Amino acid sequence: MSKQRTVTFNHNPLLRHGLPTWRPRAVMLALMACSLALIGRSMYLQGVNNEFLQAKGESRYARVLEVPATRGRVTDRHGDMLAVSTPVRSIWAIPTDVNLTPPDARKLAGLLEMDVQELNRRLAAGRDFVYLKRQLSPETAQQIADLKLAGIHQQQEYRRYYPGGEVMAHVLGFTGVDDKGQEGVELAFDGILAGKSGARRVIRDRRGQIIEDVEAIRAPRDGQDLALSIDAKIQYLAYSALRQAMQTHKAKAGASVVLDARTGEVLALVNAPTYNPNNRTNLSGAQLRNRVLTDVYEPGSIMKPFIVSLALERGKVQPGTIIDTSPGRLTIGRATISDSHRHGALTVAQVIQKSSNIGTVKVAFNFSPDEMWRLYDDLGFGKPLNLGFPGEAGGRLRPAKTWKPIEQATMSYGHGISVSLIQMAHAYLVFARDGELVPLSLTRLDAPPVGGKHIFSAATARDMRGMLELASGPGGTAPQAQIAGYRVAGKTGTAIKLDGAHYTNKYVSSYVGLAPASDPRLIVAVMIDEPSAGQYYGGAVAAPVFAQITEGALRALGVAPDAPLVPLQLAQKQGAVVPVRERM
């Protein structure tokens, strides 16, 4: 039997090779270094820079909510409310937190006035945040809150309300669902009206309900109130008269603007067709257009007084200077212009009274194209008035060096140049203010305007007022512009519309006048686009609208009469004395 062999492990040959002495030391040092790094990092995060961990923790329960600012109110010049913000609620959701039962979904969809399928589609959109309904009434929002649905939240907002409705639509414009201005005054003065939202920090529970209001981060700054120059009573008068004229003449569109001749303030601005800013469903571009400022047209004979005034100012003619308009036609190059009636020899005053194209052209040929261009430029044509309104048009006034003789002729009586209605009303301030032109204002002025520009002398402006009285009286082109108790002065315009580069058989009828003529307080401009009930001359279509607006506005302002309290034609038949201002 062989002897059993015994193995001792401590004599294993592998153990005869000892480990290097530096190795365990290196491992120990590495472990100690890692421990020190972890300790240092924890001290840094918890003691020195704890914002990161604190922010992560707060993100589980804390929220910063926007506190909306109240948009400033808009009033007319007397303080009557035109636009005001009312509190509403918006419903939003965190889709991942929402777990609606079918009955809850039906209740919520009913309160939101939407289909259950649409509600489910929005909640399944895969977003972290989704609006379910904007600008709900507080009563409906409270009914939704009473359901106590997880993930469904509310926030306070404001909705704009316009008491004047369609009467004030083109002046005020409107705001969007975020309470930002989109059109009109709301857009032009958005920086003043909007204010600045605030913020506050709150704590929410797991259902999203606010359980503690921690602090106000930034207080909201409400928007400033804005007092417009608009007079709500005159605005309604203008709107009613324009709407009636649209129906009577079956017109495509119309516009009117009323200015205070003493200050340049806009007292009324109306357009048709219009819209209700409180209910903007199914709106079209035609309804939204603020034609007073954005539409341009060839003004026609309304331009004639400016050329005649320039000739008076330069001493080229006098009111009694005779101009031969026979035989009612005038050929310039290969083109021929004509008058609507043959007048023969006319005084300069009669050229305005009868609205003679030939007489005006002969006066205009006393000047170079550059002189005429400078006059039109000084009057503000060819450039926007910079009232701040969106889309304000500047019109078209070509450089004088491009004018041909026939173009200089047609521009003297309002063809070949395009203007907006408010530009034309503004230019007529020179006749109401004894030759001075001042800027217009959409906001109420507390002091008279300064910085006016003198275009004509006071004597020239008074002479032209007398001629414009003749144009608006018996024997003139607009006897229907007369008002019982007040002298009026103004000019008609009947322009053929352009379609591309060609004239059509459609017309723009207009009238611009001022009253009382003895001491002008108002300037009223009226434009009727494409009247189609048989009449299209400015004296028959636009002048009666002027008379209706001006009569009501003068009485609303308490302006004293300066003529017999009967229509001028009847007064003359009865032998009453009608004062006429003479040149001084």
Residues with active-site annotation: 301
Cα 389 from Cα 442, distance rounded (Å): 9
Q: Cα dist. 572→506, 517, 564, 577, 578 in Å?
A: 36, 17, 10, 7, 8
Q: What single DSSP character describes residue 282?
A: T
Task: Give yes or no for a contact between 323 and 363, defined as CB atoms under 8 angstroms apart.
Answer: yes
Cα 495 from Cα 476, distance rounded (Å): 18
Cα 234 from Cα 104, distance rounded (Å): 53
In terms of DSSP H, where are the helices of 47-97?
A: 51-58
Give per-residue burial for 154-168: e unless 16+ CB within 10 Å, then b. Answer: beebbbbebebebbb
Cα 201 from Cα 126, distance rounded (Å): 27
Helix or strand run (H / E) with residue 523: strand 522-529
List the one residue out of 156, 221, 161, 155 whose CA is nearest residue 186: 161
Convert 536-576 into a string of H (helix), E (strand) and C (coil): CCHHHHCHHHHHHHHHHHHHHHCCCCCCCCCCHHHHHHCCC
Tell me whether strands 296-297 and 335-338 are parallel, antiparallel or unpaired. Answer: unpaired
List the one residue out of 409, 399, 388, 236 whose CA is nearest residue 333: 409
User: Mapping DSSP to helix (H, G, I), strand (E, B) and coil, where does residue 431 land?
Assistant: helix
List the one residue out of 301, 322, 325, 361 whose CA is nearest residue 495: 301
Task: Give yes or no for a contact between 260 and 442, defined as CB atoms under 8 angstroms apart.
Answer: no
Structure tokens at 72: 């400033």
- Rounded to the nearest 10 degrees, the angle between the axes of helix 405-412 and helix 357-364 is 120
